[in-house]
Structure 1
Amino acid sequence: MSKTDIELVAKDLNAQGGIFCPSPKADMKLWNSHPKVYLDVAKTGEARCPYCGTVYRLGANEQLAHRH
């Protein structure tokens, strides 16, 4: 497993403030992927995939719209 950090912009996140891994942003190939998991980035500004260790982090200047 390799650890990769992926910087995200707000529009990369879905309506719930998350992203799925594996993600095209992480340049994972189909043969080298793992089960799809949802990662809640909006909660703390970053999330780590429990399978591959990829860290998805919201960029420093990115702001999320207020969510209810």
Structure 2
Amino acid sequence: MQTVQSKMLINRKRLLEIIPLSTRTIYNLELRGEFPRRIALTCRSVAWDLSEVEAWIEARKASSIQADRPGEERR
């Protein structure tokens, strides 16, 4: 018998309360594979898996690498 773990999904408003970045910045991070992907619930509604967002936050806290700045190249 398989056990299905329930996932807590958060909408854009809640995501922006947790992650102090602009919607565009989050979208760009998603495109580069650097942020959890959104889940399309309907054609006009998206959500994110809260556990994935929390894991992303923890990974950022644990990383000593500074985030890229727009227009700067990695060294």
- What TM-score, normalized by structure 1, do the two folds share? 0.25
Higher helix proportion: 2
- What TM-score, normalized by structure 2, do the two folds share? 0.24
Bigger relative contact order (CA 8 A; separation at least 6): 1
